Structure 1
Amino acid sequence: MRHTGSHDHRLPGLGRVARGSARRRLTLGAGLLALVLSGCAGASADAPTPTPTAASGPATTVPPLPGPSASGTPSRPSSPAATPAPAPSPPELGTALATLGSIPVKGRAAKSGYDRDRFGQAWADVDRNGCDTRNDILRRDLSAVTLKRGTRGCVVLSGTLHDPYTGRTLAFVRGARTSGAVQVDHVVALSDAWQKGAQRWDEATRTAFANDPLNLLAVDGPTNAAKGDGDTATWLPPRKAARCGYVARQVAVKSRYRLWMTAAERAAAERVLGGCPGQAVPTTRPVALGGAPEEPEPAPSHRATPRPVSSGRTPDPRFGSCRAALAAGYGPYVEGRDVEYGWYRDGDSDGTVCE
């Protein structure tokens, strides 16, 4: 049969189906394109990073966790963890550093009310050995000591000091103009103690503190004056080799008398004793009399020849002074032996006048 005109040989409705499919593909493609564009615009640092695939690039290799290897030996991480620092050892018992830990830390109290007289008579004989504390310390700390005759081994006339604060060697000679070259230092100054607990003490305790040999050292006079009433935070001996022993003595004194330290003082003491952690706490013992030769006997002379008192002996004439008696050829006079002893003053308390 012959057909005329243009006819579609496809099945009926096929053209409409094809056109609908094309429109759906265009719509789907536009939707996918919008989704991709919105995903790119919304990406931020907070969005999770997608897992890499073979198409996008090589994946990051994660190191394996420690575990048994093929040989049965546990494997180790590629980067071993750092070894923690060992904890510091506690200070050894009986050392100054350990004792320091028992001293309380407080603020400094006011200095108001402080007076040297609050600590009793200066250089009192608190140990009842018949000698004042200053001479006790001089006999203990000086070498090549010479003692004054007639003082029962108490009074130091001369000696040599190896000064712990400066390392210098000093000559000590007793006298108004020379004694100050060597002074006896309160290691814990009296005013420092006053501001750190001594205000609450009675006078007997303060007197014992001021004369305790544990708290006293014979030292170079000018250096002691420069120290003043400083504590460990404000003053240390110029000689570095003496600092451990000096701070240990301060710790011993404050521990014995239950005085406190300031925070700065405690930190300074820790720094010093940290360099000598085995430094022992110093101790002390009573200071004995004597232990050194006495001054030599004076050369005999016609004026110095003592004459025993005998019954019937007429006493020497009385002079206006010992100088006049000696000039006339009389004296010396000894207590308990010569009646003339009572006429003159025994200025140095040695039992002899007009010598």
Structure 2
Amino acid sequence: MELQSGCRKGRRRHRAGVAAGAIVVLLAGCSVDVTSPEGGSAAPRTPGGRSATQAQKRLDDLRVTGAGDMSGYERDRFGQRWKDTDRNGCDQRNDVLARDLDGVEKRGRCVVVAGRLDDPYTGKDISFSKSRATEVQIDHIYPLGLAWRMGADGWDAAKREKFANDTGNLLAVWGRPNQQKSDSGPGEWKPQKSYQCTYAIKFVAVAAEYDLPVTQADHTALEDFLSRC
């Protein structure tokens, strides 16, 4: 299904001179991609340079192994949802919304009630409001279910809760691709080309921080993403 309405060119935060390409979101396990009419990739939304070089070194150091199964997995095994683990007085969901949205409006000190999201996964421009909160969701870049299959099933409860609420692993995104991504790794699902470098840097940083391995398919995909930096 093509998703073109609401997408904008040249947003200041992520893109400069991006061609008005088709944004295609497929079913879970497939890709989300952005290409120009000529078949070229969109301009990179990338930190590049030292960050990419460091990510490649970290990726080279990650263990590569097969994934286990989902036996015993429940979301509750990762503790309280959006717990204020950084102890700043605001829950992690509102912290991430305040960080990732433009034009943020709040009720009180913490609760984000409005803003705009330039969705990193598709490029779609979304108006967020508290009354339609599910339109913008908080994604785990390294998914919880995948982490469970890659070794988090053996962690203690405190480490799993920390992982689930670590803002370094959280990203405000459009709800539709987030649901389609589900617990897929980069070998099964990918964001638009212009975000793949940044996505890979973030994914590898989380994997390294928590000593999580990657599958061979995910390792191959991450190397490809980093080549776009």
What's the TM-score, normalizing by structure 2? Answer: 0.76
Of 87, 98, 111, 1:139 maps to 98
1:252 alignment partner, SS class: helix
For 1:306-332, what per-residue CA distance to the aligned partner results, in whole angstroms no more than 9, with x for missing partners?
xxxxxxxxxxxxxxxxxxxxxxxxxxx
Contact 1:92 1:98 in 2 (8 A): no
CA drift of 1:201 comes to 0.8
Letter in 1 for 2:201: A
Contact 1:97 1:274 in 2 (8 A): no
Of 116, 119, 127, 1:160 maps to 116
The residue that corresponds to 1:123 in the other structure is 82
Of 198, 203, 216, 1:263 maps to 216
The residue that corresponds to 1:225 in the other structure is 179
The residue that corresponds to 2:126 in the other structure is 170
Query: Which one has a larger percent strand, Structure 1 or Structure 2?
Result: 2
CA drift of 1:92 comes to 7.2
Of 155, 161, 164, 1:207 maps to 161
CA drift of 1:109 comes to 1.2
2:172 alignment partner, SS class: strand
2:61 alignment partner, SS class: coil
The residue that corresponds to 1:188 in the other structure is 142
CA drift of 1:199 comes to 1.1
CA drift of 1:274 comes to 2.5
For 1:105-164, what per-residue CA distance to the aligned partner results, in whole angstroms no more than 9, with x for missing partners?
11111210110000001111111111111011001111111111xx3x100110111111
For 1:209-228, what per-residue CA distance to the aligned partner results, in whole angstroms no more than 9, with x for missing partners?
00101100101111111111
1:260 alignment partner, SS class: coil
Letter in 2 for 1:224: N
Structure 2 unaligned segments of length 5 or more: list them: 1-48
Contact 2:196 2:228 in 1 (8 A): no
CA drift of 1:230 comes to 0.5
The residue that corresponds to 1:324 in the other structure is none
CA drift of 1:262 comes to 1.0
Between structure 1 and structure 2, the one with the greater Rg is: 1
Distance in 2 separating the partners of 1:275 and 1:145: 31
Distance in 2 separating the partners of 1:203 and 1:109: 19
Give the aligned length: 180
Contact 2:55 2:204 in 1 (8 A): yes
Distance in 2 separating the partners of 1:262 and 1:182: 29
Relative contact order higher in (CA < 8 Å, ≥ 6 apart)? 2
With 261-270 and 228-237 compared, the bigger mean Cα shift is at 261-270
Question: 1:173–1:258: structure 2 CA closer, same or farther, 3 Å change rule?
Answer: same
Letter in 2 for 1:147: K
Question: 1:92–1:184: structure 2 CA closer, same or farther, 3 Å change rule?
Answer: closer
The residue that corresponds to 2:54 in the other structure is 95
Letter in 1 for 2:138: V
1:95 alignment partner, SS class: helix
Distance in 2 separating the partners of 1:248 and 1:271: 12
Contact 2:197 2:227 in 1 (8 A): no
2:207 alignment partner, SS class: helix
Contact 1:197 1:258 in 2 (8 A): no
Query: Which one has a larger percent helix, Structure 1 or Structure 2?
Result: 2
CA drift of 1:258 comes to 0.2
Distance in 2 separating the partners of 1:184 and 1:134: 7
For 1:177-229, what per-residue CA distance to the aligned partner results, in whole angstroms no more than 9, with x for missing partners?
x1111001000110000011111111111111001011001011111111111
Distance in 1 separating the partners of 2:113 and 2:50: 43
Question: 1:146–1:275: structure 2 CA closer, same or farther, 3 Å change rule?
Answer: closer
Question: 1:155–1:102: structure 2 CA closer, same or farther, 3 Å change rule?
Answer: same
Letter in 1 for 2:57: A
Distance in 1 separating the partners of 2:197 and 2:159: 27
Letter in 2 for 1:174: K
The residue that corresponds to 1:242 in the other structure is 195
Matches within 5 A, 1:31-70: none
Distance in 2 separating the partners of 1:135 and 1:122: 12
